[in-house]
Amino acid sequence: MENNRSKEKAALYAEVYNKILEMIKSGVYPEGSKLLTEPALAKELNVGRSTLRQALALLQEDGIIEARRGVGNFVRKTIDINSTGLEKMENPLIKSCTAPISDIEINVVPGISTQYTERIFKRKMPVVLAIHRYYKNVEEINAYCFTHLSTDYPHLNEIDLEESENILQFLENDIYRLAHSRKIEIKIVSATDNLKNNRIAVDNHQFQLMKESIVDRTGEVIAVNKFYIPIDKSLIKVFSSN
């Protein structure tokens, strides 16, 4: 019963995310405009404040809206950071997390295509894999990654998707060898219920969020990773030269 309630709650905030995104895309909330206050928006969408906050937090992480303290939530443009000083194309968490990592726990959940996945992949797919990775040292989780992986990528036909270890090998290593390019956005985010539910966040924690979109040689997005590293365990070095 508890698992069913958790799934229903997760589906609800994803539904709210999609509704707000559709309102933005349709021009109800144009670029630069302010969303309704949380109480008013929750009433309009007929959802609880907690569910609304989870949806708003995800919209903030994705760079669709920004929260201005004491003012409200505003629609914004996504700011892409294409050069991060991560010279070699590999898992960016490796160079960005200062805490030791001795093991990676993985949980793979097949799901159907949604407005959100259609937006990030710019196409429809019958099935999208939602993947949780927990970067651990003994039992302590030092970082977390949530991934959406396309299932129409040809090289995945060579992988037994029933074996989570094969998927882990692909995400940690092979995908970077096969990829043509990637785009990384970096920002600081606060702990959300989503992170707390994934065993990494506690109250008042801040995280370095790296959103990585990996593109193949045909220009199609293969995967979108969201790496969360506690701010006290993160380090990115950006190098430049004349």
Question: Is residue 21 assigned to a domain?
Answer: yes
Structural domain range at position 63: 2-75
Mark whether 71 and 98 lie in a shared domain.
no
Mark whether 38 and 118 lie in a shared domain.
no
Mark whether 212 and 133 lie in a shared domain.
yes
The per-residue b/e assignment along 116-138, b for 16 or more CB within 10 angstroms, e otherwise, is bbeebbeeebeebbebebbbbee
Contacts of 20 (CB under 8 A, 6+ apart): 29, 35, 41, 45, 55, 56, 59
Question: Is residue 239 assigned to a domain?
Answer: no
- pLDDT over threshold 90, residue 125: no
Provide the CATH number for the domain around residue 36: 1.10.10.10
Mark whether 141 and 222 lie in a shared domain.
yes
Q: In the predicted model, what is the mean pLDDT of the chain?
A: 83
- pLDDT over threshold 90, residue 136: yes
| pLDDT single digits (tens) 159-199 | 888 888 999 999 999 999 888 889 999 988 887 767 766 67
Mark whether 108 and 140 lie in a shared domain.
yes
Domain boundary among 75, 110, 132: 75
Place of tokens 């004491």: 70
Question: Is residue 117 assigned to a domain?
Answer: yes
Mark whether 70 and 109 lie in a shared domain.
no
| pLDDT single digits (tens) 83-93 | 333 446 889 99
Question: Is residue 206 assigned to a domain?
Answer: yes
What mean pLDDT comes out for the span 49-55?
Answer: 90
Which pLDDT score, from 0 to 100, does residue 5 have? 45
Domain boundary among 75, 106, 128: 75
Mark whether 28 and 137 lie in a shared domain.
no
Asked whether 76 and 181 are in contact (CB, 8 A), the reply is no
Mark whether 67 and 106 lie in a shared domain.
no
Q: CA triplet 160, 166, 167: central angle to 5 degrees?
A: 95
Q: Count up the domains in the chain and report the number.
A: 2
Mark whether 71 and 109 lie in a shared domain.
no
Full-model pTM: 0.67
Mark whether 53 and 162 lie in a shared domain.
no
Provide the CATH number for the domain around residue 200: 3.40.1410.10
Mark whether 71 and 102 lie in a shared domain.
no
Question: Is residue 205 assigned to a domain?
Answer: yes
What mean pLDDT comes out for the span 40-60?
Answer: 91
Mark whether 121 and 189 lie in a shared domain.
yes
Greatest extent of the chain over all pairs of C-alpha atoms, in Å: 61
Question: Is residue 15 assigned to a domain?
Answer: yes
Domain boundary among 12, 43, 75: 75
| pLDDT single digits (tens) 194-213 | 776 667 756 557 889 999 99
Tell me which residue of 230, 32, 241, 39 sits closest to 144, measured CA to CA: 230
Question: Is residue 241 assigned to a domain?
Answer: no
Which pLDDT score, from 0 to 100, does residue 148 have? 95
Question: Is residue 178 assigned to a domain?
Answer: yes
